[in-house]
């Protein structure tokens, strides 16, 4: 591990096309969850440069923040960069059993609260860099599950399971979630022309707002535990939506995707308060009036990115209509590869 060696990694962000929220316990434990997601050409990136001075330096390049401290066997989880500290603590505890000295630089193409799984994707990217540096024996399922455990168990952060697996595996996947954190990732072989058409017709729109998903997810959990019929029925409908979306994509029945997105959005809003709000409803309505067939808020809801299915030549008209809300349409492509790491 020479000082001038660079270890890099990148992991793709994702669009949750159907079934969102059914990967969150206790619903996934009690009833099983199902989600269809696809990774896109926006990434979380990590670079590790080994050091020999028993110091750790963290550079969050997108946030222009730097943190430096002494290396130790366990770093204090104190509300400051806990995700990175949680990863380090688990790597040292489970694999190397001694302090590590390094400089870690990270960058994410979307801000926190965007709804594209940015936090979990960053965890996967950092783990990928550590695995490359230290030659850790981690397969795809191992690494995704470790990322999930660090966030949801070690750090007790609210959320589901799909983001870690999407970032690790990449591509278009139908994911099934069971009790005891069992996950099965089913890669879908979608014809390239269908994915190209989907990327053209699916507008990714950043509302220039963010949201605290923890509040929404916690209410969703409480609704399940309380047996709230409205919320539970909505989650079962979203499971059905994921199967509908899978069939439409595999068969190339693309214009049906707009209807399926709208079906899911109407039920998603019933899972918990705060998933939508007057501003998001206004944006959604404007998109529909100008030719979109359906859409949704990405992630838990409340803000961040939205996306809309716009058939034929309605894409430009919808983008023009959304300009009044001060957000921005983002260009992207679907990606086939998940986590990638290398060293120089």
The predicted structure's pLDDT at residue 4:
78
For tokens 């409803």, the residue is 281
Decide: 278 and 284 in contact? Cβ < 8 Å.
no
The predicted structure's pLDDT at residue 239:
97
Phi then psi for residue 166, to 5 deg, are -60, -45
SS3 78: coil
The predicted structure's pLDDT at residue 208:
83
Nearest to 15 by CA among 264, 235, 183, 212: 264
Tell me the domains of the chain and their CATH numbers.
Answer: 7-189+335-343 (3.30.230.10), 192-330 (3.30.70.890)
**Which strand (E) or helix (H) includes residue 307?**
strand 305-309
Average pLDDT over residues 39-53: 97
- Under the banding of pLDDT at 50, 70 and 90, the label for residue 1 is very low
Name, in order, each residue with C-beta under 8 angstroms of 304's C-beta and a sequence gap of 6 or more: 113, 114, 115, 116, 206, 207, 209, 210, 211, 297, 298
Average pLDDT over residues 138-155: 97
Q: For 70-120, what is each residue's pLDDT tens digit?
A: 999 999 999 888 999 999 999 999 999 999 999 999 999 998 788 899 999
Structural tokens at position 340: 């990638």
Using CA atoms, how far apart are residues 312 and 299, in angstroms rounded to an integer?
Answer: 26
Structural tokens at position 14: 């994702």
DSSP labels for 22-46?
Answer: TTSTTHHHHH-EEEEEEEEEEEEEE
User: Would you say the pTM of this structure is higher than 0.85?
Assistant: yes
- Under the banding of pLDDT at 50, 70 and 90, the label for residue 2 is very low
- Under the banding of pLDDT at 50, 70 and 90, the label for residue 340 is very high
> What burial letters (b/e) apply to 45-81, b meaning 16+ CB within 10 Å?
bbbbbbbeeeebbbbbebeeeeeeeebeeebeeeeeb
Average pLDDT over residues 54-70: 94
The answer, yes or no, to whether residue 342 has pLDDT greater than 80, is yes
Using CA atoms, how far apart are residues 111 and 48, in angstroms rounded to an integer?
Answer: 21
Nearest to 258 by CA among 282, 302, 290: 290
* Residue 163 annotated in active site: yes
The predicted structure's pLDDT at residue 303:
76
DSSP labels for 191-246?
Answer: -HHHHHHHHHHEEEEE-S----HHHHHHHHHHHHHTT-HHHHHHHHHHHHHHHHHH
Using CA atoms, how far apart are residues 264 and 294, in angstroms rounded to an integer?
Answer: 9
The predicted structure's pLDDT at residue 275:
86
The answer, yes or no, to whether residue 54 has pLDDT greater than 60, is yes
Q: For 204-231, what is each residue's pLDDT tens digit?
A: 999 987 655 677 888 888 889 999 999 9
Decide: 104 and 126 in contact? Cβ < 8 Å.
yes
Rg (CA), the chain: 20
The answer, yes or no, to whether residue 12 has pLDDT greater than 60, is yes
Mean pLDDT of the chain: 93
Using CA atoms, how far apart are residues 286 and 25, in angstroms rounded to an integer?
Answer: 34
Using CA atoms, how far apart are residues 120 and 78, in angstroms rounded to an integer?
Answer: 19
Q: For 266-284, what is each residue's pLDDT tens digit?
A: 999 999 888 888 999 999 9
**What percent of the chain clears pLDDT 90, i.e. is strictly above it?**
83
**Which strand (E) or helix (H) includes residue 132?**
helix 118-134
The predicted structure's pLDDT at residue 181:
86
Average pLDDT over residues 168-173: 98
Q: Which of 23, 82, 109, 163 is catalytic?
A: 163
Using CA atoms, how far apart are residues 310 and 313, in angstroms rounded to an integer?
Answer: 8
Decide: 40 and 12 in contact? Cβ < 8 Å.
yes
The predicted structure's pLDDT at residue 10:
98
The predicted structure's pLDDT at residue 210:
67
- Under the banding of pLDDT at 50, 70 and 90, the label for residue 161 is very high
């Amino acid at each position: 591990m020479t000082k001038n060696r660079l270890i890099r990694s990148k992991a793709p962000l994702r669009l949750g096309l159907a079934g969102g929220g059914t990967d969150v316990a206790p619903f996934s434990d009690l009833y099983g969850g199902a989600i269809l997601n696809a990774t896109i050409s926006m990434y979380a990136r990590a670079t590790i440069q080994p050091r020999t001075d028993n110091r750790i330096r963290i550079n969050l390049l997108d946030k222009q923040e730097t943190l430096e401290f002494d290396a130790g066997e366990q770093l204090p989880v104190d509300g400051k960069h806990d995700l990175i500290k949680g990863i380090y603590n688990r790597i040292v505890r489970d694999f190397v059993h001694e302090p590590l000295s390094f400089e870690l630089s990270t960058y994410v193409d979307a801000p926190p609260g965007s709804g594209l799984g940015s936090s979990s994707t960053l965890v996967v990217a950092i783990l990928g860099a550590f695995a490359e540096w230290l030659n850790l024996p981690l397969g795809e399922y191992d690494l995704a599950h470790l990322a999930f455990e660090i966030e949801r168990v070690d750090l007790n952060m609210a959320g589901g399971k799909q983001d870690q697996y999407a970032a690790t595996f990449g591509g278009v996947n139908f994911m099934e979630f069971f009790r005891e954190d069992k996950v099965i990732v089913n890669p879908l072989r979608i014809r390239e022309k269908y994915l190209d058409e989907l990327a053209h017709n699916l507008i990714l729109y950043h509302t220039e707002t963010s949201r605290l998903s923890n509040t929404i997810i916690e209410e969703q959990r409480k609704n399940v535990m309380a047996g709230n019929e409205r919320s539970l029925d909505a989650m079962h409908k979203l499971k059905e939506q994921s199967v509908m979306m899978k069939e439409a994509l595999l068969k190339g029945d693309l214009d049906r995707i707009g209807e399926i997105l709208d079906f899911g959005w109407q039920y998603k809003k019933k899972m918990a308060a705060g998933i939508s709000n007057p501003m998001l409803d206004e944006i959604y309505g404007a998109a529909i009036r100008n030719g979109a067939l359906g859409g949704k808020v990405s992630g838990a809801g409340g803000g961040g990115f939205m996306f809309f299915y716009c058939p034929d030549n309605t894409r430009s008209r919808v983008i023009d209509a959304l300009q009044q809300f001060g957000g921005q349409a983002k260009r992207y492509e679907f990606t086939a590869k998940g986590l990638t790491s290398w060293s120089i």
